[in-house]
Amino acid sequence: MKNQSRSQVEFVVLMAALMSIVALSIDAVLPALPEIGSFLNVGDTSDNPKVITFIFLGLGFGQLLFGPLSDSFGRKPIVYIGFIVFIIASVICVTTKSFEMMLFGRILQGIGLASPRTMCIAMVRDSYSGDYMAKILSFVVMIFILVPIIAPSLGQFLMQQYHWKSIFMFNLGFGVLVMLWFWLRQPETLKDKHRIKYRLAIFKTGTIAFFKIKPAVIYTILSGLITGSFMVYLSTSQRIFEQQYNMAEEFPLIFASIAVSVGLSTFLNSQLVVRFGMRRIVHTAMLSFVIIALVFVIMFSSGGNPSIEVLIGFFALQFLTIGFIFGNLRALAMEPMGHIAGIGSALNGFISTVMAVPIADYIGKFVTDSVTPLFIGFLVCGLISLALFYSITSRVSRLLKRA
């Protein structure tokens, strides 16, 4: 029993470590955006956040590639292939003197990192199901959230002590250690009976199967809307706190304090989800997400910024609700896709990420001298998400009545 418990704990921490390589590659770079832009002679500083958003494009497309392949060849070999791509991409990012090549390297980094990110979700789905799967995912995300808390401070320290390039080298070294742990300790989770013989048609058949599962499609779209609104904050946070509030030195600590709220709600979700169920928690969290954004927009509709304390308070509340939404939406989408967990996880990640990037870029253009457009974006994305959630909830209720 103790061995089984220890094995489960190690599994959760290892899955979180795999996802943490992604978080480090994004959040640790945030404080270095001005330095990177200056080094690469970027003319318009508003282009600097593309170093963040372009990695998400790679993550989206990479998931679409690696997910279906893992259903045929297993989860572990695909993780190794993705990490090799990440190594090549990291070398490009460190050696380039061109902003365009940096963006290409970031897309390639995203493609490589899509493998551990997608395989983490698929391996959890291979091993667990239902509300308990949501609980395990919450534990994974809870540990994973610790990385955004420390990553900006780590990035700032490395940049000040050495160079912005050292951030990329540190991420690469951390990834190598995680890969060694994964290789030595993690068994293959995809059972032979669930393997799908590889053929090019697998992409077509898997995609058709995915789009026939209406709840999975709608929950995936919901993930895209919520991820998009969160990505706006991620790509503009450095600009908001350093330019609008003149708090460049304090930025890592502010970012960390807000990330704590996501970690707290993710922990609470892991304790509550089996008792109350995923759908009820998502519904309550989405309502709260919309109400918080609406209150901010009404209070600061003039366009003026609140005090830093008030802003951090609103961000903390907003992301407290997101912690309840993220893992549960992914689990709800994956629940009916056990037979196509690889391509299902891939399509879920691809669609939600490709949706999120243009949402973030569009809303981010308005976040120049005021934070209000960001909360308007939260409000609009939240309202659309609620409408879609009610549509799928009524569909499920009708099916239960027929049964």
**Rounded-to-10 torsion of CA 327, 128, 72, 337:** -60
Q: What is the pLDDT of residue 231?
A: 85
- Res 400: pLDDT: 40
Q: What is the reported pTM?
A: 0.77
Q: How many CB atoms lie within 10 A of CB 45?
A: 13
**In the prediction, which pLDDT does 165 show?**
92
Residue 341: the pLDDT is 63
Q: Residue 128: its pLDDT value, please? A: 74
pLDDT at 57: 87
Which of 402, 360, 401 shows the shortest CA–CA distance to 55?
A: 360
* pLDDT of res. 399: 43
Picking from 27, 57, 32, the residue whose alpha carbon sits closest to that of residue 42 is 32
Residues of the chain under the 70 pLDDT cut: 1-6, 129-131, 134, 138, 142-145, 194, 202, 338-342, 394-403
**Taking Cα atoms as reference points, which of 162, 169, 150 lies closest to residue 252?**
150
CA pseudo-torsion sign 94, 98, 103, 108: negative
Cα-only R_g, the chain: 20
Structural domains of the chain in order of their starting residue, each with its CATH number: 7-198 (1.20.1250.20), 206-402 (1.20.1250.20)
* CA 196 – CA 32 distance, rounded (Å): 43
Quick one: pLDDT at residue 2? 42
Distance CA 287, CA 240 (A): 26
234 neighbors 49 (Cβ within 8 angstroms)? no
pLDDT at 401: 47
